[in-house]
């Protein structure tokens, strides 16, 4: 039984708190008083405290605030962290955040983290106790001291059935550009193309089936979060877009030349790749 | 109670047969004997016949063969159609098929059709009795005689709860380029981008969450069908791709210039559009 502080009691922070509540003493802080009250009501935290007190009393501090706020919270938390305590976060891009950790904290005091789970909904009211069960949790240790910090995080989270992945912050960010940020942006562009066409196509809405619905689901997520994701991983996202543009040009060439067999081969290769990915 | 013939007893033809079976006498034909047997076993058809007999005995003939085969089946069926009978189809692009109908059949003998339903699985063994319930069914009448044929189709299908949409073949094809074919192709390209990146990113697979899974679901569909869809709607698909390329360049410009507020505005506008689309 340790003391864990969660800074930012939204969907992610709240869900994590609910899951760890029976196993540890959970402290919490949020800018919104109402969120702290609801976190206590929903048994996501045992106690709401000020930012400084929450940090000072914890064996593990988890920064679960919006992505763009995390670097400054690292700096703010640094002076209050008690000896032997570890700070981590749940931000979905890691390079900038880990750079801030390395600037403001001592080796062994931190490791970057990112649980691969979420929904299109926000806030403590949408928190789910099983949001992380059977999901992947990435940690980004890049030195023996960060490896030690990672071990402490895993130990405190051991009640949750998680698949742990360990990789560098840069590799993490390039990977999620392909698995997460490019799909988001393309989802936006698929929805947007139809937006441009709607004036001349009065039956567009009635003709949208489950395929359109699935491919544009991500486009419905919170735009502020979407913007922060894209801009915090800007270079990698541009790399992934360039990769997609290359295949797009290839496909356009095949369409223009009506290359039946080459087009089928490309589609077959891709369908095969996807099958491999999602086979157990 | 009328006699309906279904030519092509796959997922679509089989599901339609199962649904209409209690209401009409259903005849069927398929190139594969095994599919005809299974269609009888699954109560998708009352009787399996030769192509010519199936066409000759029906009040309504439904061509449910693969998209690229339908125009030649129209020509083959034409001489056998009995007076007053109507021929329709379930092909997912309509311009070429309706042109073939206009060439080989008399006004009043035909109308183009397209049920907006399906799954990634194929064949009579995957047929589902409720595949079309509460879905959209598009018909493409373009003259008073075709309107009359459309009325007959609707009358025979009245046991199925469907939303009927009536539009021209050209408008249909441009609309599905945006609602169906562009999403499919983009789904392929999202999956394909990660395929190119996988060599250098060993943790790619573990980092693929539900967002990646949903946006690439369509990429898993049958590649031969995918090829036929794209090529049968080639010009419209290229128009839709051009529209998407325009937005892609816009987004890339915003990323390169780190235009926070303009990017958020674009994402917000798109999220809003999607909400409107899927609100009841």
- Condensed to tens digits (0 to 9), the pLDDT of residues B163-177 reads 999 999 999 999 999
Looking at the DSSP bridge assignments, the partners of residue B48 are B28
Q: Do A214 and B214 count as a contact with CB atoms less than 8 A apart? A: yes
CATH topology assigned to domain A172-278 = 6-phosphogluconate dehydrogenase C-terminal fold (1.10.3660)
- Phi, psi dihedrals of residue B136, rounded to the nearest 5°: -90, 140
Q: Concatenated DSSP letters for B26-37?
A: EEEE-S-HHHHH
More confident: B212 or A209: B212
Q: Flag if A248 and B245 touch (Cβ within 8 Å).
A: yes
Residues A234, B155 contacting (CB under 8 angstroms): no
Q: Is A217 helix (H, G, I), strand (E, B) or coil?
A: coil
Distance (Å) from the alpha carbon of A31 to chain B's nearest alpha carbon = 23
Which percentage of chain A shows pLDDT scores above 70? 100
Nearest to B276 by CA among A205, A221, A186: A205
Nearest to A209 among B179, B241, B244 (CB): B179
Report the Cα–Cα distance between both ends of chain B, in Å, rounded: 35
For residue B179, give the chain A residue with the closest CA: A208
Q: What is the pLDDT of residues A171-201, one digit of tens each?
A: 999 999 999 999 999 999 999 999 988 888 9
**CB-based contact B203 A270, cutoff 8 Å:** no
> Rounded to whole angstroms, how far apart are CA atoms A197 and B173?
13
pLDDT at A66 over 70: yes
* ipTM reported for the complex, 2 dp: 0.90
Taking residues B148-153, report their average pLDDT. Answer: 98
Q: Where in chain A is the domain with CATH 1.10.3660.10?
A: 172-278
List all residues of chain A from 158 to 187 with a beta carbon under 8 Å from chain B.
163, 165, 167, 171-172, 174-176, 178-180, 182-187
Q: Sorting pLDDT into bands at 50, 70 and 90, what band is B196?
A: confident
Task: State the average pLDDT for chain A.
Answer: 95
> What are the start and end residues of each CATH 3.40.50.720 domain in chain B?
3-167
pLDDT digits (tens, 9 = 90+) for A256-271: 999 999 999 999 999 9
Topology at the third CATH level for domain B3-167? Rossmann fold (3.40.50)
Q: Does B49 touch chain A (CB under 8 A)?
A: no
Q: Has residue A79 got a pLDDT over 80? A: yes
User: Are residues A209 and B244, on separate chains, in Cβ contact within 8 Å?
Assistant: no
- A274:B214 CB<8 A: no
What share of chain B has pLDDT > 90, as a percent? 90
- pLDDT, position A280: 53
Long-range contacts of A236-240 (CB under 8 A, 24+ apart): A236/A173, A236/A174, A236/A176, A236/A177, A236/A181, A237/A177, A237/A181, A237/A182, A237/A185, A237/B255, A238/B252, A238/B255, A238/B256, A239/A174, A239/A177, A240/A177, A240/A178, A240/A181, A240/A182, A240/B193, A240/B197
Cβ atoms within 10 Å, residue A151: 14
Contact B12, B63 (CB under 8 A): no
Residue A279 has pLDDT above 80, yes or no: no
Cα B194 from Cα B146, distance rounded (Å): 47
Quick check: A31 pLDDT over 80?
yes
Please give the pLDDT value at position B280: 53
Asked whether residue B43 carries a pLDDT value surpassing 60, the answer given is yes
> How many CB pairs below 8 A link A and B?
279
> Of A172, A232, A228, A184, nearest to B210 (Cα)?
A184
Radius of gyration from C-alpha coordinates of chain A:
21
* Rounded Cα–Cα distance for residues B171 and B150 (Å): 17
What are the start-end ranges of the H helices in B159-259?
A: 169-176, 182-197, 210-215, 223-232, 234-256
Q: For residue B162, give every residue at least 6 positions away whose Cβ sits within 8 Å of its Cβ, in sequence order, or none.
A: B115, B132, B133, B134, B135, B136, B137
């Amino acid at each position: 039984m340790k003391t864990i502080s969660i800074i930012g009691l939204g969907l992610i922070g709240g869900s994590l708190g609910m899951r760890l509540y029976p196993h540890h003493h959970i402290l919490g802080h949020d800018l919104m008083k109402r969120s702290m009250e609801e976190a206590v009501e929903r048994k996501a935290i045992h106690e709401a405290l000020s930012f400084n007190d929450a940090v000072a009393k914890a064996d593990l501090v988890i920064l679960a605030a919006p992505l763009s706020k995390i670097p400054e919270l690292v700096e703010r938390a640094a002076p209050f962290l008690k000896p032997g305590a570890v700070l981590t976060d749940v931000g979905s891009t890691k390079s900038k955040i880990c750079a801030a950790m390395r600037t403001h904290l001592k080796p062994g005091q931190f490791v970057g983290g990112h649980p691969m789970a979420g929904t299109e909904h926000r806030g403590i009211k949408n928190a789910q106790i099983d949001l992380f069960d059977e999901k992947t949790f990435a940690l980004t240790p890049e030195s023996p001291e960060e490896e030690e910090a990672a071990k402490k995080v895993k130990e405190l989270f051991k009640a949750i059935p998680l698949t742990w992945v360990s990789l560098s912050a840069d590799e993490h960010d390039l990977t999620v550009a392909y698995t997460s940020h490019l799909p988001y942006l393309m989802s936006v562009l698929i929805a947007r193309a139809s937006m441009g066409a709607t004036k001349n196509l009065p039956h567009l809405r009635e003709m949208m089936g489950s395929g359109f619905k699935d491919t544009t689901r991500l486009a419905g997520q919170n735009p502020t979060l979407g913007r922060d994701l894209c801009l915090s991983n800007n270079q990698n996202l541009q790399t992934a877009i360039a990769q997609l543009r290359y295949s797009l040009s290839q496909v356009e060439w095949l369409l223009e030349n009506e290359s039946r067999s080459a087009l089928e081969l490309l589609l077959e290769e891709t369908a095969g790749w996807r099958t491999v990915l999602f086979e157990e």
